[in-house]
Structure 1
Amino acid sequence: MKKRRLVMRTAILVILFAAVAYTLYANFNKENVHKVQIGKEAPDFVLVDMDGKEHQLSDYKGQGVFLNFWGTWCKPCEKEMPFINNQYEQFKNQGVQTIAVNISESNLAVNKFIERHGMTFPVVIDKNEDVKAAYGIGPLPATFLINPEGEVVKYHTGTLTEPMVKDFMTQIKP
């Protein structure tokens, strides 16, 4: 009986040690997760918006692209959407496009969110999380600024304020 208890305790300790080691490793290497580098070309992708229209990033060359990754469950994402929408309306005719990439949620949930917040910019869903993986997205919201040449000029994670969104869109305006 004592030997069995010792084996169980040892197994539990080994599992706990492995979990702690993995957590430490993941935290120390989280800066290396982002596959997209500033100054390099943004990975191309094709995703379909809520109206069934395809959006291919490379089609936007010559324009700045404000690329925002988000989720309907994400409170910081919800907070910044009105700011993004307001600035989209200001910059859409000045060569700055906005694409909001939802991470693998249902069309129903995304459409309800769009209606509730009156979003007018293109919203696409990354159903298989391929684009999320290509961009090395961790916590949401995450925003990439892509210049008219197709290069990533900035990466920001966390909630955006309206002045930040305006500044970011000004930075990528042709």
Structure 2
Amino acid sequence: MDSVCIGKEGKKVSVKKKRRLLMRTVILIVLFAAVGFTLYASLTKDKSPIVVGEKAPDFVLTDLEGNKHQLSDYKGKGVFINFWGTWCEPCKVEMPHINTQYNEYKSQGVEVLAVNMGEPTLLINNFLDKYDFTFPVLEDKSKDVAGLYNIYKLPATIIVDSDGVIVDIVEGQLPEGRIKAMMEQIKPE
């Protein structure tokens, strides 16, 4: 004989029916969660990862002085885009080397855009007070540009030639000799 429970309306409900209803509810919840996750993942994933040999995605960011920098405005110049953070030890090592090479190559048509990923302006300024960098430092507060370029590890460098085509993508600290070679590679003819 089935065990009997009293339901909300005061009616008798068998324990088997109650268990079946609970199992169906759990299955429906899991199914809806899976569908929701799949939709979320497909809508938020980057549809077109950047690739060497393709046009660099355009972006506009503001530097610490309030000037806007749009990548497409640098057409005709080589652009060395470096993503960094104040907490990143390898960034602290490579940034002075980037500045040294920038000072050598800027008159030859090479620009550096140092993109800070989402840190407060005060923190960035405190970091920069320790150095005398001459290249523009841009703020990617929402990390949209980092997402556009699939940057998740710092430091990361993207070099773009004078036609706006990605020439190289490098994650990790760059030694000064490699920085020099990269700038030489994107120097306009």
* 1:48-103 Cα deviation digits (max 9, x unpaired): 00111000000000000000000000000011011000001001110000000000
Structure of greater Rg: 2
2:172 is aligned with 1:158: yes
**Is 1:116 matched up with 2:127?**
no
Deviation digits for residues 111-136 of structure 1 (CA, Å, limit 9, x no counterpart): 11112121110000101110011000
Q: What's the counterpart of residue 12 of structure 1?
A: none
Extract structure 1 runs of 4+ deviating beyond 4 A: none
Q: Note if 1:172 corresponds to 2:186.
A: yes
- Counterpart in the other structure of 1:39: 53
Q: Give the distance between the partners of 1:168 and 1:113, measured in 2 at CA.
A: 25
Matched residue SS, 2:61:
strand
RMSD of equivalent CA atoms? 1.4
Correspondence 1:22-37 to 2 at 5 A: 35-37=49-51
Contact residue 104 and residue 125 of structure 1 kept, 8 A: yes
Determine if the alignment matches structure 1 residue 132 to structure 2 residue 114: no
Structure 1 residue corresponding to 2:85, chosen from 71, 90, 107: 71
- Cα distance in 2 for partners of 1:163, 1:118 equals 20
Shift, 1:144, TM fit: 0.4
Residue 129 of structure 2 corresponds to residue 89 of structure 1:
no
Uncovered stretches (5+) of structure 2, i.e. residues with no partner: 1-45
CA distance in 2, matches of 1:46, 1:78: 25
| Residue 52 of structure 1 pairs with residue 66 of structure 2 | yes
Share of identical aligned residues, percent?
A: 50
Normalization by structure 2: what TM-score? 0.74
